[in-house]
Structure 1
C-alpha cells in the first residue's frame, strides 16, 4: 500500500510539473510566456548534437499573439549549426513561390548570440523574416546553416490571434566545414571565430536604440565596426583640408568613402579650405544637432555662425561623389534667387 501511495504522489508531481527533455527548446512556454530582446533566454548546448525547436508546447494547438520571443543558442566551439524546417505555419503574405512579402508574425534566425545588429542567416530577408505555410511536399527541404556555433531565434507575433500552428525546427551541430561557400562564412570576414560578432549594417537593425542594452559590433584593435553603414550606400570624397573651388580629386589626392548615408562639404569663409566627408546616418544626425541655428536634417547648403563668430558653410547631398564641387551650392543658390525674384515680382505688381 505504501509503495502504491508513493508511486501515485510521484505521478501527480510529474503531471503537475512536466519536464521537457533536454533536447527540446521552446520559444513560448505552456503559458505563452517567453524571454524578450533585452534579456533573451540563453542555452549552452554542449552535451548532444541534435535538438528540436518548437514555437509552443504540444498542448497548445496555436501560438500566442502579441509576443516577441528570443532564444540564443551556443553550441560546441569549432562547430556550426544546420536548421531544418519540419513544420511552419506563421501568419503572413507570401508569393506563389512561398517567398515572404509581408509578415504579420515572423521568425528570424541570426548568425550570432543576439539579434540587435547580427547578420540574418543566408536566405532570410531582414525586412520580412520568415512567414507563410510550409506545404507537405516541402517538409524537411528548407535548410539554413550558420557560420559558427552560435545562433539566435526570434519569434514575433502581432496583437491579432490568427490560430496558426507555429513551427518545428530540427537543429544539428557538426564540425565547421563552410558548406554555404562564398564569402558568407569566410573566416577573414569574422564569420567563424568563437565570440566574434557577425555584424549587419544600419539598414538591417531589428530594434531601436532604446531596445538595445549595448551597441553591438565586434571591434578589433585598429579597426572600425561597420554597424552604421548603409546597404548600397553612396560614395563620397573625403579630405580634411582641400580647396573649396576649384577642386580636383586627382590632384588633391582625395580619398573615397563607401557605403555612406550622405556626403558633406564644410568650409569656413575666412580660410576657404574645405573638409569633405562620408557620413553615416547616426553621425549625420549628430552633426545636425550640434550646428547652431539648424535644428533639422537638410540637403543642400546652409550657413551658420560658430561659437567663435566665424561663418561656416555646411553642405550635404545624397548621390555618388556629390560633394565634389560647387554643384552642391547651385540648387541652393538657384532656389534662393527664384524666391527673391518671385517676391520682387509680387511687390512690383
Structure 2
C-alpha cells in the first residue's frame, strides 16, 4: 500500500510540474517582453553599475515575438564607455547575429559595438545578460530537481 501511495504522489508532483512549466513557457510566448531602456549618457545610473530601481521597464512591441532585450556597449577613442539598454526589434541591424548572447558588430562605416541579446523579462539589467539568463536557468533546474527527487 505504501508503494502505491508513493507512486500516486509522484504522479501528482509530475502533473503539477508539467502545469507549472506550461504556464512558465506559455506566458513567455503570449505576452510582450519587458526590457529596461536607458542610456548612460543621459543618466549615469544606466552605466556599468546599473541601478535598476531608477528605471521603469518598457513593454516591447505590443505582443510581437520579434523583440528582445539588448545591451549595447561602445568604447569611444577617449576611453568613454557608452552603454544603452533597449527593446531591440530583430532585423534592425543588417548582418548582426541576434541569437541570445554577446558579440561585437561593425557596420560599413566602421562603427563597432558589443551587443548582448536576451529573451526574458528585464534580462538586460546586467553587464552581460547571457550570464543573468544562466543564473535563471540554473535556479529553474534546481527547482525541477527538488520536485522530482525530494
TM-score by length of 1: 0.24
2:77 pairs with 1:278:
no
* Partner of residue 326 from structure 1, selected from 127, 130, 138: 127
Match of 1:237 among 11, 24, 36: 36
Shift of 1:311: 3.0
Q: Name the residue aligned to 1:317.
A: 118
Q: Which residue of 1 aligns with 2:50?
A: 247
Q: Distance in 2 between matches of 1:258 and 1:301?
A: 22
Q: CA deviation at 1:267?
A: 1.6
Shift of the 274–324 alpha-carbon distance from structure 1 to 2, 3 Å rule, reads same
| Greater length-normalized contact order (CA 8 Å, ≥ 6 residues apart) | 2
Mark the structure with the bigger radius of gyration. 1
Q: Map Cα deviations across residues 42-84 of structure 1 (whole Å, 9 max, x no partner).
A: xxxxxxxxxxxxxxxxxxxxxxxxxxxxxxxxxxxxxxxxxxx
Give the CA deviation at 1:285. Answer: 1.7
CA contact (8 A) 1:301 1:315 kept: yes
Please report the TM-score for the alignment, with normalisation by the length of structure 2: 0.50
Written as runs of structure 1 = structure 2, the 5 A alignment for 1:1-349 is 231-241=30-40, 242=44, 243-250=46-53, 253-260=54-61, 261-270=67-76, 271-279=80-88, 283-287=89-93, 289=94, 291=95, 294=96, 296-328=97-129, 330=131
Q: Is the 8 A contact 1:235 1:256 kept in 2?
A: yes
Greater per-residue strand proportion: 1
Which runs of 5 or more residues in structure 1 are unaligned?
1-229, 332-349
Unaligned 5+ runs, structure 2: 1-28, 62-66, 133-150
Q: 2: CA distance between counterparts of 1:259 and 1:307? A: 28
CA distance in 2 between counterparts of 1:300 and 1:285 reads 16
Q: Higher helix share goes to which structure?
A: 2
Alignment length (residue pairs): 92
Equivalent-residue separation in structure 1 for 2:56 and 2:108 (angstroms): 29
Q: Does the aligned pair in 2 maintain the 1:244–1:325 contact within 8 Å? A: no
Shift of 1:327: 3.8
